[in-house]
Amino acid sequence: QVQLVESGGGSVQAGGSLRLSCAASGRTFSSDVMVWFRQAPGKDREFVAAVSWSGGMTRYLDAVKGRFTITRANAKNTVHLQMNNLRPEDTAVYSCAAGDFISKLPQSYYYWGQGTQVTVSS
């Protein structure tokens, strides 16, 4: 059974940091694009960051550039999202996903985790 399981969410004050992890199991994801999306209450799911299969190409939502960093460790079938200088508007459920190519459209990805809550207070 293929699974993506996120961890590392929590509650922090503005300016704080969190490191999210996504552990994949059931098959190797070393050839897949891995991404993070987020969804705040009452809002659509939003692309946050993506990393190519090699880790050599990354893409970010403009609002998180310079604050968030996506990395992957193919040997461990994991992907991480380091989030620094967090803002209240970053509050959302963060989910990882896997797909064939980098896209900002959620429907482009075929495996999804359940998500982890990130709450940033002012």
pLDDT tens for 12-24 read 999 999 999 999 9
Per-residue confidence (pLDDT) for residue 28, from 0 to 100: 87
- The overall average pLDDT reported for the chain is 96
pLDDT tens for 72-110 read 998 899 999 999 999 999 999 999 999 999 999 999 999
Per-residue confidence (pLDDT) for residue 12, from 0 to 100: 98
Closest CA to 11 of 118, 122, 111: 118
Judge whether residue 115 has pLDDT over 90.
Answer: yes
**Residues whose CB falls within 8 Å of the CB of residue 37, separated by 6 or more in sequence, listed in order:** 45, 46, 47, 48, 94, 95, 96, 97, 106
Sorting pLDDT into bands at 50, 70 and 90, what band is 118? Answer: very high
Per-residue confidence (pLDDT) for residue 82, from 0 to 100: 98
Task: Please indicate whether residue 74 or residue 8 has the higher confidence score (pLDDT).
Answer: 8
Q: What's the mean pLDDT in 39-59?
A: 95
Core vs surface per residue 1-19: b (16+ CB within 10 A) or e: eeebebebbeebeeeeebe
Q: What's the mean pLDDT in 32-41?
A: 96
Per-residue confidence (pLDDT) for residue 19, from 0 to 100: 98
Judge whether residue 120 has pLDDT over 90.
Answer: yes
